[in-house]
Structure 1
Amino acid sequence: MSIWVGEDAKVLIQGVTGRQGTFHGSKMVEYGTDIVGGVTPGKGGMTVSLHDRMVPVYNSMEEAVGETMAEVSVIYVPPPYAGAAIKEAASAFQSVRGGGLVVCITEGIPILDMVDVVNAMASYPDVRLIGPNCPGIITPGSNGGSKIGIMPGHIHRKGRIGIVSKSGTLTYEAVAQTTGIGEGQSTCIGIGGDPVQGTGFIDCLEAFESDPQTEAIVLIGEIGGSAEEEAAEWISANGTKPVVGFVAGSTAPPGKRMGHAGAIISGGKGTAAEKISAFRSAGIHVADDPSVIGQVLADALIEAGLRDS
């Protein structure tokens, strides 16, 4: 098992003929992802070479889903057009196959566009959006798997640790450290750091809690907003699996945006200290530095009786 994406998911790439779509699409195929097609309006009928596979291009998502019955789409479309691409994908998945997953990698989508997208997603209850401004989602397999996004595939291996993070690079750090202590990952999700997004921490925690493959969770947050505190509250009330947490941005000055649009301490709220306190109160095993995530995870597994040493 895994969450939302199986090892053999059929995937479409929106923006497949662009530089980012072609480059990352090739890396996805190289990893073992089953890319069954791409979408670029006006370029339907052509094919594009991704690593060792020739992939058909369609003019619309409805046509592409109908022809391939893909269940996932990943979006590498420029910011001015990404909102429309998300809505097109959601509509196609809902109408053609009754649901699906949309993963939007694009950074810099105007916030009002995303407000419109999130409102529109209410019309597609069986379609999930991950992102935007995120590294994507990956479910490692015994041989390959489904890598949907821009994360480096070689650091992942199949296992029992679920990882969810706002930060892309810290996701990779957590993955590398879990692999480094002899563990693997069930599914890894980068939800992105924008203030308006499709999938949040609690969505992921609920899915990991219900997933029989996932036996422990690593959650990486950052300063700004209240998502980490809300996640801690959910874990305190509902969690049964060990959780390791880290909060990025403990040295950030108040009022200065740090990288992600949502990573800003405003009005004294959203500080790292507040979030770490909420984590500890919820029984989350806190890593004070990203370099010790692996060791804290090992200790948490030992404490839970899930690992000998």
Structure 2
Amino acid sequence: MSIFVDENTKVVYQGLTGSQGRYYGMLNRDYGTQVVAGTNPKKAGTDVEGVPIFATVADAVEATGANVSCVFIPAAGVRSAVLEAAEGGVELIVVITEGVPMHDEAYFYNKLKSDYPGVRLLGPNCPGLISPGKANIGITAGHIAKEGGPVGIVSRSGTLTYQALYELKQKDIGCTTCVGIGGDPVPGTSFIDCLAAFEQDPETEAVMMIGEIGGSAEEEAAEFIAANVTKPVVAYIAGLTAPPGKKMGHAGAIVSGGKGTAQAKMDALADANVRIGQSPSEAGDIMAEVVATL
């Protein structure tokens, strides 16, 4: 199986008429994803390479049965786009856009929680997610992912999301679903959300988790793993050599008061019996050892 998306997922692209939305939307369609609609109120009634354009997400959902939205519009418009998608009736909103103001992220994150509790948000500033062989939504290159399981992947880092997939493919290990949650301060979907979903998925037999310095998400995930996850977890934490006190990477990579360091995260995960790789390649090697015992 897979988590969050599969071969039955139907996607509406908010921003399909833009250059980046069109490029990745068509790549996703070529992969086999059901890209059924796009939105642009000024271009409703037209199409992008055969994909119909609607004025609103609600119109697209009504006409096509779309249940997922992928947001590929400039940062200033993301707040309105997310709320439009939720009001339009989709179950999952994937926001690829980076540079979304933190206050906007906090607003629509809490708005969804209070008014649309059945709608999942992924991102902003994330690569999206891929269930290999079934659906690819976002900017992940489909050819680097091997289908067939048994490993689920969740990652804060976009680039390391891709490397984790490729490390496993090089070892002939398939993936059920790979979720890039993004590293912004207010992520819509957390490590814990994905770990819980993988724990419930019968075809996911092990989990690879990619974290990085800053925040407390990995430490919170470690507590969740210790209490709730029965499947083996392998992790890699980026930023071990980051200079102390220096902000690294994106907005979520902020270390304060000795918390949020790579070593602190690694220690917390090790205490939860998670096996730690010192590099992405070593994490892949450890996962290969784990898979051989399944």
Q: Answer yes or no: is 1:125 the counterpart of 2:117.
A: yes
Structure 1 runs of 4+ aligned residues shifted over 3 Å read: none
Structure 2: how far apart are the matches of 1:255 and 1:82? 32
Please say if residues 11 and 72 of structure 1, whose CA atoms lie closer than 8 Å, have aligned partners that are also in contact. Answer: yes
CA deviation after TM superposition for structure 1 residue 8, in Å: 3.1
| Residue of structure 1 in register with 2:36 after alignment | 36
Aligned amino acid, residue 78 of structure 1: P
Deviates more, 1:21-30 or 1:129-138: 21-30
| Residues 151-200 of structure 1: per-residue CA shift (max 9 Å, x gap) | 11101121211000000110111111111112100000000000111100
User: 1:99-151: per-residue Cα shift (whole Å, max 9, x none)?
Assistant: 5111000000001111110111021011100000000011112xxx2100001
Alignment partner for residue 288 of structure 2, among 270, 273, 298?
298
The whole-number CA distance in structure 1 between the counterparts of 2:168 and 2:143 is: 13
Aligned-pair distance for 1:255? Answer: 3.3
| 8 Å contact kept, 1:285–1:300 | no
Where in structure 2 are the equivalents of 1:99-110 lying within 5 Å? 100-110=91-101
- CA distance in 2 between counterparts of 1:223 and 1:109 reads 20
Q: What is the deviation of 1:7?
A: 2.1
Q: Secondary structure at the match of 1:259?
A: coil
Cα deviations by residue, 1:34-65 (Å, 9 ceiling, x for unpaired) = 1101011221001112xxxx100001011111
Provide the rounded CA distance (Å) in 1 between the counterparts of 2:78 and 2:155. Answer: 22
Residue 301 of structure 1: SS of its match in structure 2? helix
Partner of 2:273: 283
Partner Cα distance (2:280, 2:15) in 1? 34
The aligned counterpart of 2:74 is 78
Structure 2: distance between partners of 1:12 and 1:245: 33
* Contact in 2 for aligned 1:39/1:60 (Cα 8 Å): yes
- State TM-score, norm by structure 2: 0.97
Alignment deviations for residues 245-278 of structure 1 (CA, whole Å, 9 cap, x no partner): 0101111123332222111212221101100001
Local SS of the residue matching 2:52: strand
**1:55-94 matched pairs, under 5 angstroms:** 55-93=51-89
SS at match of 1:108: coil
| Rounded Cα–Cα distance in structure 1 between residues aligned with 2:244 and 2:32 | 43
Q: Output the amino acid matched with 2:15.
A: G
Instruction: Point out where structure 1 has 5 or more consecutive residues left out of the alignment.
Output: 94-98
Q: Distance in 1 between matches of 2:94 and 2:46?
A: 24
Matches of residues 258-269 of structure 1 in structure 2 within 5 Å? 258-269=248-259
* Aligned pair partner of 2:143 in 154, 179, 200: 154
State the SS of the aligned residue for 2:259. coil
User: Which whole-Å CA distance do the structure 1 matches of 2:165 and 2:283 have between them?
Assistant: 10
- Structure 1 partner of 2:201: 211
Q: TM-score with structure 1 length normalisation?
A: 0.92
CA RMSD of aligned residues (A): 1.0
Give the whole-Å Cα distance in 2 for the aligned partners of 1:128 and 1:232.
22
Task: Say how many residue pairs are matched.
Answer: 292
Matched residues in 2 for 1:196 and 1:27: separation? 28
Give, in whole Å, the separation in 2 of the partners of 1:185 and 1:275: 25
Structure 1 CA distance for aligned equivalents of residues 244 and 84 of structure 2:
39
Distance 1:230 1:151 in 2: 27
Aligned to 2:247: 257
Q: Partner residue of 2:165?
A: 175
